Amino acid sequence: MRPKIYKVLILVATALLVFGSEIANAQEPGYSFNFRQISESEFRATQRNNYNATTVATLDSIDLEKAFELIDDTYQQEELILAERELCKSPRCLTAFHGLYPNLGILAFFIQDLHYEKVIFLPASLDDSYSSFDRFYGTFGAMSKNGFWVGLKREGSDNYLQAEICKVSDTGTSSILQFKFSLTDINEAENEPIFWVNENSFYLAVIDSNNSEKKDQQFYEISFNIK
């Protein structure tokens, strides 16, 4: 059984989010979405006590092999082509275990694309009947304690920040929000540029994509509600 299907809300955040302190809001029936600029001190203070889900970085070798076998039959055409270009025998060479979320019963695997990492989620039970193998944005991804995932995507020479929020469960994953900024990119100098602060909000650190000087750092809270 797949989880509740959410309508995907796609938003474009413009340059005012990079250079101003304005608050940007988006609303549709059943949804609300808010950008709020925050101070660096607020970002740092909350970072030490965030709402990220507990992660285990290792997995039993037998379970790991079974997970790879479940993924094997789901590789997409572009993944097969990329593996061939990389002189791999199979796309397994593009796939890496990212983590176990024991409190959620979820495994996460990254699949390398040309310019970013896609993420795929499996139930920790490794149920053979599981059939939800969709790919989602994975780079710099963070999982919340209540099963929301936020990850990034980059295409070609595009430095603009593209993000996706998903609801993850052991029965499947649904994309609920996608958005992108103009003129800004994730701050890769941060050890943890994205982290959750509560059930429906996360912080992120960004920079002007044309200038990576420290003075151009910006910090935002992004929050959403789904009725």
Report if residue 192 sits inside a domain: yes
Report if residue 188 sits inside a domain: yes
Per-residue pLDDT tens digits for 69-120:
999 989 999 999 999 999 998 899 999 999 999 999 999 999 999 889 999 9
Tell whether the model's pLDDT for residue 121 goes beyond 90.
yes
Domain count, the chain: 1
36: containing domain: 9-226
Per-residue pLDDT tens digits for 21-53:
333 455 455 667 788 999 999 999 999 899 999
Report if residue 2 sits inside a domain: no
Report if residue 3 sits inside a domain: no
Q: Are strands 139-143 and 136-137 parallel, antiparallel or unpaired?
A: unpaired
Report if residue 163 sits inside a domain: yes
Report if residue 86 sits inside a domain: yes
Contacts of 46 (CB under 8 A, 6+ apart): 195, 197, 203
Contacts of 78 (CB under 8 A, 6+ apart): 113
CB atoms within 10 A of CB 60: 9
200 backbone φψ class: left, alpha, beta (φ>0; ψ -120 to 50): alpha
Tell whether the model's pLDDT for residue 201 goes beyond 60.
yes
Residue 143 pairs with which residues in a beta bridge?
A: 149
Report if residue 1 sits inside a domain: no
- Identify how many contiguous H helices and E strands the chain contains and give both numbers: 4, 15
Task: Compute, in degrees rounded to 10, the torsion defined by CA atoms 213, 216, 217, 223.
Answer: -150
Per-residue pLDDT tens digits for 147-189:
999 999 987 655 567 899 999 998 899 998 888 777 778 888 9
Report if residue 122 sits inside a domain: yes
Per-residue pLDDT tens digits for 178-187:
887 777 788 8
**Residues 120, 111 contacting (CB under 8 angstroms):** yes
